[in-house]
Chains A and B, each alone.
Chain A
Amino acid sequence: MANGKVLTGLGIGLAATLAFSGCSGAADDGTVTLQMVESLTNPARTELLETLIDEFEQENPGIEVELVSPPTDQADQKIQQMLQSGTGVDVLEVRDLTVGPFSTNGWLADMGPEFEGWKGWDALTDNAKNVATAGGKTYFIPYGFYGISLFYRTDLVEEAGFDGAPVSWEDLLEQASAIQDPEANTYGYAFRGGTNGYSNAALVIEAYVADDLDLENAYRLKNGDSMFSAPEALDAMELYIDLFEQASPPSSVAWGYPEMVEGFSNGSTAFLLQDPEVIAAVEQSTAITADQWTTAPMLVGPSGTAIQPLATAGWGIAEASEHRAESAKLIQFLSEGDASIRFTEGNSLVPILNGADEAEFYKTGAWESYLTMNEQPETYITAVQPRGVAWWTEWADKADAELQQVLIGQLTTEELLASWDAYWTEKWAAE
């Protein structure tokens, strides 16, 4: 009996030891195990990340990395839970959407001391440096940028009698309306009315108020008012609603990312505004061939300029991590040289390294439009949307629901803009 109790006790002790050994820490031989969590997970990306981690481990024999890859739609919540518990994560993927709440709650380490004197700084583009040192603290180093371009069907544009891709939002409405033919199951524009539908509405408004926009806060005008209060915003929204009513699939009121990409990939819609990651998805389409589509630069507003919102994500260190030096080493490895280039190319991202966009990869096919935009910064102006504010998710939810109300006729565009203006004015006043 006594032996049984001893064995039970040993068993529980062993199980507990095994369970806790999964947590990050230093082994007896001095090896440090880092827990790394990614957010925008997909199988190909995880595989690439694992390859890079293997190379890092070979270069740094005393450090092992365990990569945690939750499904994308649950990843940020999972990361929040891990950070809130205060253990179990060293390196994490920080998005421009999550850096605000994570840092406000004290979950992110300011990596300034660890990156002091890092030789990789000089290789970063100005945009990457600005993001990495926003607010005077280094909460994350971006791994790349998401930039919008117009995916379009070259054959349908030509058949409709146009000699090139639309340049402005008005051109888009004209061309998409001409192509729209529901009876032939051909639609003009892959409208985004579902999740994150507000983001494209913000794009058209930004293009219309581009001359007066505060580039450090692309929801604000230079005079301090919200962009939704500008008279041009109403013109922009009316055009955008026309685009839905005259040149988009009726059911796109509920379309989110998958439906939009599917609509373009399966040949149903002629135009699509999306990030470059879609290039790879459309290339795999069997419904349209490579010579039937390409991309064009962002659409300009009446002043001839467009706003390119800078969306990004990167790698940061948890405040509770006990291995900051080793974590910084890993982030530095991923943010410089060959590893960074492979990661940005593998995930169709705009690179963070100076000169990396001059690689052949970015000069051909659908990537050409990005090169054009980079070469004409006065026309395609980069601006920072206030995506880091703590209430961004609340805003997205409200804006999506109200945009849908306009699309189904429950709200007017004037009421929509008044509501959005009041929301941001109130939030900024309370800051």
Chain B
Amino acid sequence: MTTVEERPPTRAGAPAPATPAPAPRRRRAFTTRRGLVVAAFMLPAAIFVGVFIYYPMLAGSQMAFRHWNLSNLTDTSWIGLQNFATIFADPAFGVILGNSVLWVVASIVPQLVIGFALALWLRRKFRFRGLYQALIFFPWAISGFLIGILFRWMFNGEFGVVNDLLMKTGVIDQGIPWLAQPDTAMFAVIIANIWYGVTFFAIMILAALQSVPDELFEAAALDGAGKVRTLFKITIPYISTTLALTVLLRVIWIFNFPDIIWAMTGGGPANQTHIITTWMITFTQKGDYGVASALGLIVVGLLLVFSAFYLMALRGKKEVSS
């Protein structure tokens, strides 16, 4: 096993610290023959990815620059950026972009916090832990659309269980039409998404926590560190890579996750709970695949920019801390 020693960054022009140069690693020559063998092994997977991922992506992308409407496919002429212009000219676009950001941020923060707390609790050894784990992870096995339908009935203003509970406990004295008002509808869909996504964080964080050696916690206890200090100085730094990747994955997934909103509100009332991907569905339903594809490219662009900044920020943070 080779251990890699991380060296602190140096300022340009500053003399290098007097540390011994690391021994040169032995590298195996990458010959053409070896390269061909590797390529031959990778070829089936590359073909699979090419046919099922990249080809549809490219084929879909070119639709964004064409008039591609299922109502009349006899005209699929090249129209340049007109589909993008249609999107940016729509007054709903600003609201929908704002909703998309709110949807991600307001969902992911509680999911992370609650998921983390659940994972910490499940890491402890106690009776029926397996049963609790199964119960907590169960929602992840249900389709998002089904969850949406379930919550649509729960948040129904007249015969939903949410109003019933709130009225019986005296929190409200008359039912709230949750899904009929823009603000409460957005709140309701975010609550449903938080409930659904907590389990993913719990699963990922629990898996990471189980890799933290018990000796670290024992050492911290011997040094007199309290629970909060142990959490922030031992636990979180140790699993930070998993946390960072989980957050990145979840941001991408939540941004691209229309199921719950679609099932609960269909983007209504009056487009006020649409995020970009639910809005995209309305265009596919209208048969306007050109505009839908343009929206798809916008989503890809936004997520690429976010991922690049996020990873750069993480890298910068890591370098500073090291």
Residues of A within 8 A of B (CB): 77, 80, 84, 100-101, 104-106, 182, 185, 187, 193-195, 249-254, 256, 259, 262-263, 266, 268, 390-391, 393-394, 397, 400-402, 404-405, 407-408, 410
Most buried by B among A262, A394, A410: A394
**Neighbouring A residues of B285 by C-beta, 8 Å:** 393, 397
**Neighbouring B residues of A195 by C-beta, 8 Å:** 266
CB of B185, distance to nearest CB on chain A (Å): 7
Q: Which one of B71, B158, B268, B287 lies within 8 Å of A194 (CB-CB)?
A: B268
**CA distance in complex: A174, B74 (Å):** 51
Most buried by B among A105, A182, A185, A263: A105
CB of A14, distance to nearest CB on chain B (Å): 20
**Neighbouring B residues of A252 by C-beta, 8 Å:** 180
**CA distance in complex: A195, B282 (Å):** 12
**Neighbouring A residues of B71 by C-beta, 8 Å:** 100-101, 104, 390-391, 393
Which A residue's beta carbon lies closest to that of B178?
A251
Using known A-B contacts A254-B268, A394-B286, determine if residue A408 contacts B156 with beta carbons closer than 8 Å.
no
Q: Which one of A185, A400, A405 lies within 8 Å of B158 (CB-CB)?
A: A185
Q: Which one of A106, A254, A390 lies within 8 Å of B265 (CB-CB)?
A: A254
At the interface, yes or no: B321 with Cβ under 8 Å from chain A? no
Using known A-B contacts A182-B174, A263-B158, A397-B282, determine if residue A194 contacts B266 with beta carbons closer than 8 Å.
yes
At the interface, yes or no: B79 with Cβ under 8 Å from chain A? no
Q: Which one of A80, A106, A397 lies within 8 Å of B286 (CB-CB)?
A: A397
CB of A262, distance to nearest CB on chain B (Å): 7
**Neighbouring B residues of A84 by C-beta, 8 Å:** 73
Task: List which B55-95 residues lie within 8 A (CB) of chain A.
Answer: 70-74
**Neighbouring A residues of B177 by C-beta, 8 Å:** 249-251, 253-254
Using known A-B contacts A400-B268, A401-B268, A407-B269, determine if residue A250 contacts B70 with beta carbons closer than 8 Å.
no
At the interface, yes or no: B181 with Cβ under 8 Å from chain A? yes
Which A residue's beta carbon lies closest to that of B92?
A401
CB of B310, distance to nearest CB on chain A (Å): 34
Q: Residues 117-147 of chain B: 1 if any A CB is under 8 Å from the residue's CB, otherwise 0?
A: 0000000000000000000000000000000
Using known A-B contacts A193-B180, A193-B269, determine if residue A262 contacts B287 with beta carbons closer than 8 Å.
no
Known: A254-B268, A397-B286. 18 other contacts (CB 8 A): A80-B287, A100-B71, A101-B71, A105-B70, A185-B158, A249-B158, A250-B157, A250-B180, A254-B177, A254-B269, A262-B159, A268-B158, A404-B269, A405-B270, A407-B269, A408-B269, A408-B272, A410-B270
Most buried by B among A187, A193, A251, A405: A251
CB of A394, distance to nearest CB on chain B (Å): 5
**CA distance in complex: A77, B70 (Å):** 10
**CA distance in complex: A80, B70 (Å):** 8
Q: Which one of A194, A253, A390, A405 lies within 8 Å of B72 (CB-CB)?
A: A390
**Neighbouring A residues of B70 by C-beta, 8 Å:** 80, 101, 105
**CA distance in complex: A266, B158 (Å):** 11
CB–CB A251/B271 < 8 A: no
**CA distance in complex: A252, B156 (Å):** 9
Number of A-B contacts (CB under 8 A): 94
CB–CB B266/A251 < 8 A: no
**Neighbouring A residues of B269 by C-beta, 8 Å:** 193, 253-254, 404, 407-408
Using known A-B contacts A193-B180, A263-B158, determine if residue A401 contacts B270 with beta carbons closer than 8 Å.
yes
**Neighbouring B residues of A400 by C-beta, 8 Å:** 268
**Neighbouring B residues of A193 by C-beta, 8 Å:** 180, 269
**Neighbouring B residues of A393 by C-beta, 8 Å:** 71, 285-287
At the interface, yes or no: B179 with Cβ under 8 Å from chain A? yes
**Neighbouring A residues of B72 by C-beta, 8 Å:** 101, 104-105, 390
CB–CB A251/B180 < 8 A: yes
**CA distance in complex: A250, B157 (Å):** 7
**Neighbouring A residues of B157 by C-beta, 8 Å:** 249-251
At the interface, yes or no: B182 with Cβ under 8 Å from chain A? yes
At the interface, yes or no: B288 with Cβ under 8 Å from chain A? yes
Which A residue's beta carbon lies closest to that of B174?
A182
Q: Residues 158-192 of chain B: 1 if any A CB is under 8 Å from the residue's CB, otherwise 0?
A: 11000000000000001101111110010000000
CB of B183, distance to nearest CB on chain A (Å): 11
**CA distance in complex: A390, B177 (Å):** 35
CB of B312, distance to nearest CB on chain A (Å): 39
Which B residue's beta carbon lies closest to that of A106?
B74
CB of A399, distance to nearest CB on chain B (Å): 12
CB of A84, distance to nearest CB on chain B (Å): 8
Most buried by A among B157, B174, B175, B177: B157
**CA distance in complex: A182, B175 (Å):** 9
**CA distance in complex: A268, B92 (Å):** 35
CB of A94, distance to nearest CB on chain B (Å): 15
Most buried by A among B268, B282, B284, B287: B268
**CA distance in complex: A251, B271 (Å):** 16
**Neighbouring B residues of A268 by C-beta, 8 Å:** 158-159
**Neighbouring A residues of B287 by C-beta, 8 Å:** 80, 101, 393-394
**CA distance in complex: A185, B167 (Å):** 13
CB–CB B179/A251 < 8 A: yes
CB of A419, distance to nearest CB on chain B (Å): 13
**Neighbouring A residues of B268 by C-beta, 8 Å:** 194, 253-254, 400-401, 404
**Neighbouring B residues of A101 by C-beta, 8 Å:** 70-72, 287
CB–CB B271/A254 < 8 A: no
CB of B290, distance to nearest CB on chain A (Å): 13
Q: Which one of B159, B174, B288 lies within 8 Å of A266 (CB-CB)?
A: B159
CB of A255, distance to nearest CB on chain B (Å): 9
**CA distance in complex: A333, B158 (Å):** 46
**Neighbouring A residues of B74 by C-beta, 8 Å:** 104-106
CB of B172, distance to nearest CB on chain A (Å): 13
CB–CB A408/B182 < 8 A: yes
**CA distance in complex: A254, B155 (Å):** 11
**Neighbouring A residues of B270 by C-beta, 8 Å:** 401-402, 404-405, 407-408, 410
CB–CB B158/A251 < 8 A: yes
**CA distance in complex: A253, B157 (Å):** 10
CB–CB A259/B180 < 8 A: no
14 A–B contacts, CB within 8 A, in A order = A105-B73, A185-B159, A193-B180, A194-B268, A195-B266, A250-B177, A251-B178, A256-B266, A259-B156, A262-B159, A397-B285, A405-B270, A408-B270, A410-B270
**Neighbouring B residues of A106 by C-beta, 8 Å:** 74
